[in-house]
Structures are given as C-alpha cells and as structure tokens.
Structure 1
C-alpha cells in the first residue's frame, strides 16, 4: 500500500524525528510536558541541515575550482542527508551527555545536523553509486551450493 522509502526519505524523516523529540524533551524540561515545542525543534534542525549542506557544497565547489576541476552540482544528495541524520543523532546524544539537566538539546541537534551535512556533502558523488551497488547485490538471487 505505502511506497518504499529511499535512503534520502528515511534520513529526512529521521532528522525530523530526532529534532522533534529533542524539542519535546527540551520544552518539557522548561515548561512541563509539552508537545508544541516539537515543531520548532524539527524546523530548526532541518534548517541547520540545509545550511550545513549548502556550506559543504560551497566549500567543495570552492576547492574543486581552485584545483582546476569543474564544480560539482549535487544531484542525488544522499551523502549530505545521511551525514545530517547521523550528525543530528550524535549531536543530540553528545548534548544530552554533556548537559547536567538535559537543556539545549535542540542546539545539539542543530549543531550536529550542520556539521554532519557539511561533512556528508564532500563525498556526495561517491555515496549514491555505493548505495546502488549495495541495492543491486541485495536483489541478486544467490545460488545455493549443492549438497
């Protein structure tokens, strides 16, 4: 019934989920149990991921043009989305571990999303072929050895 999600969609939803949970926890620490702080946590984390990807692609194009190569234009964007999700998750966990009262979790998720997306933008053209190769190997029927 529902279509299968690709890797970008899974990571996008993961970024939203982690940012939303961080927003709920941070808002609940300050004001008691709240759900209305989920949306700002999601949006701030998502905007940070997009800004990190923009920064990463800008720096990548800058380095490529300085070395005489043509600029890279992100086509598939799998690398920065995967990096943003991992960064969001790790940033939130690190902020939780470093904070005595669990405050500023959204700041941790935002910082992690920015750094993860920026780092994921650099190997972006290599990530999609690797994922496609993994998908092709998964779909191949394996021959069983005769007994």
Structure 2
C-alpha cells in the first residue's frame, strides 16, 4: 500500500497546510456568525491560497528587481519550496495573531490571508537556498534499517 501512495514532499505538505488553515479559519469565522456551518470553508481556503500566490509573486518580483539592479540574472523559481513553506507558516501565525488580537476572534480569514501573503513574500527571497538544504537534510536522515538484519 505504501508503494501505491507516494510520500508527499515539503511543498505538497505546505500546500495542504495552507488549505487546511484557511478552511478551518473560514469554518470558525462562519460558525461564529451563522451558527455551525461548513460552507464557509471553501472561501477561506481559496482566499488564503490566493493570498499565498500573490505573496509568492510579490516576493519573486521584488527579488528579481533587486537582482537586476545589482546586475545579476533574474532568479526563476524552480522548486518553490521557500515560498510555500513561508506561506504555510505565515498563514498559521497570522491566524494565531488574529485570534489573540481580536476580542471576539473575528476576521480569522483576514489573518490567514495577510499571514500567507507576508510569509510567502518573505519565503521567496531565500527560495534558491531552501531546496538544497532540504535535499541535504533528506540525504543525512537515517533510513531506519538496522545493518546486518534481513527480513
């Protein structure tokens, strides 16, 4: 069964985390306003995801702008691990900050959107360094097999 279901990489885990945080924030905010409801999960997910994509675009745009001012080639993101990890952490922290700052816990989706935007923007800057670091971490991780044992 494990061969049938591939293991998710960090980008896919972060993407699903962004959707989960946005959806949970939407459900909680909708429940506070209308009573228990699930139909507010999708707008929360999509708005948080749009905030993350716009943040990643803004971060890469600013990064390319600075690189071209310095006379370097523009960076074209290949793996995009940095901004997705930043968007996930930003959405999480933004939602938590909105819970702490709001007396009644409202506007959780706004917190997740702004957090995802800021996190993705900040995560786009070190994007070219994140993927090699993750690759080295994966190579240095023990496999979990005991030497000398078979079967």
Give the shorter-chain TM-score range: over 0.9
Q: Which of 54, 58, 62 is the equivalent residue of 1:55?
A: 58
1:101 positional shift: 0.6
Q: Which of 5, 9, 13 is the equivalent residue of 1:10?
A: 13
Deviations 1:47-101 (A, max 9, x none): 0000000000000000000000000000000000000000000000000000011
Gaps of 5+ in 2: none
Normalised by the size of structure 1, how large is the TM-score?
0.94
| Equivalent in the alignment of 1:126 | 129
CA distance in 1 between counterparts of 2:112 and 2:130 reads: 23
Q: Which of 93, 97, 101 is the equivalent residue of 1:98?
A: 101
CA distance in 2 between counterparts of 1:82 and 1:37 reads: 24
CA distance in 2 between counterparts of 1:36 and 1:17 reads: 14
Normalised by the size of structure 2, how large is the TM-score?
0.92
Ranges of 4+ aligned residues in structure 1 off by more than 4 Å: 139-144
Deviations 1:7-28 (A, max 9, x none): 0000000000000000000000
Gaps of 5+ in 1: none
**Pair 141,106 (structure 1): closer, same or farther in 2 beyond 3 Å:** closer
| Equivalent in the alignment of 2:33 | 30
Q: Which of 68, 77, 99 is the equivalent residue of 2:71?
A: 68
Give the secondary-structure state (helix, strand or coil) at the position aligned to 2:109.
Answer: helix
CA distance in 2 between counterparts of 1:53 and 1:93 reads: 21
